[in-house]
Structure 1
Amino acid sequence: MKKVFVFAIVVVAVVAMEVAPTAEGVTCSPVELSPCLTAITSSSPPTTACCQKLREQIPCHCGYLKNPSFKNYVNSPGSRRVASSCGVRFPICLSK
């Protein structure tokens, strides 16, 4: 439960600091991935809503990986499992 609380605090803090639109018109907001929280932090399968939001946020995944506040969550085994279950390829991001 502590991980969920810490994750929620990190999400709120980062969203308050930075919500960036991408070239595809997607607003990069980690809060959009909240339907995936249970699946990432437990062994529960992702919901349809989670997979839909994960696909919508694909243009944002590298930005989340580059953000020190999110990197550990995005790189977590739970996130990788959820991405795989949803049929979303884990991003390979180039450094800038």
Structure 2
Amino acid sequence: MAMTKPSSLSAAFLLLLLLLLVMMMIATAFASTTTPACNPTQLTPCAGPVLFGGPVSPACCVALDAQRACLCGYARSPNYGSYVRSPNAARLFAVCRIPLPRCR
């Protein structure tokens, strides 16, 4: 039975460890790009149009689109639900050409 030199064994271990680290970094980067971070404060550009019915800015539409996957959660929230379901919010969705969320 042939023994491997300690230096080649440790080099193989380091290579394997490096490969695992790179795979974990790629998986983390992929997960962060596919899962939106739900943060209602990112919708502050939409506060004026929802509360007062003012003009809808492009920044509001971008923020609304970025938070689209979170809207049903906001609609169920006692803090934000009335804003998401308001007539002004419906106008906002229409102006931004984003479908109204259909929450279950």
CA RMSD of aligned residues (A): 1.7
1:64 is paired with a residue whose SS is helix
Aligned length: 73
Equivalent in the alignment of 1:64: 74
The alignment's TM-score, normalised by the length of structure 2, stands at 0.65
Q: 8 Å contact 1:38–1:44 — kept in the other structure?
A: yes
Matched, 1:30 2:40: yes
The Cα of 1:23 is off from its aligned counterpart by 8.9
Any gaps of 5 or more consecutive residues in structure 1?
Answer: 1-21
Match runs of 1:46-85 below 5 Å? 46-85=56-95
Q: 8 Å contact 1:45–1:85 — kept in the other structure?
A: no
Structure number with higher relative contact order (C-alpha < 8 Å, ≥ 6 residues apart): 1
1:27 is paired with a residue whose SS is coil
The structure-2 alpha-carbon separation of the partners of 1:23 and 1:70, relative to structure 1 and needing over 3 Å to count, comes to farther
Equivalent in the alignment of 2:7: none
Runs ≥4 residues deviating over 6 A:
none
Equivalent in the alignment of 1:86: 96
1:28 is paired with a residue whose SS is coil
Q: Quick one: which amino acid aligns to residue 56 of structure 2? A: P
Determine which structure has the larger helix proportion and give its number: 2
Determine which structure has the larger strand proportion and give its number: 1
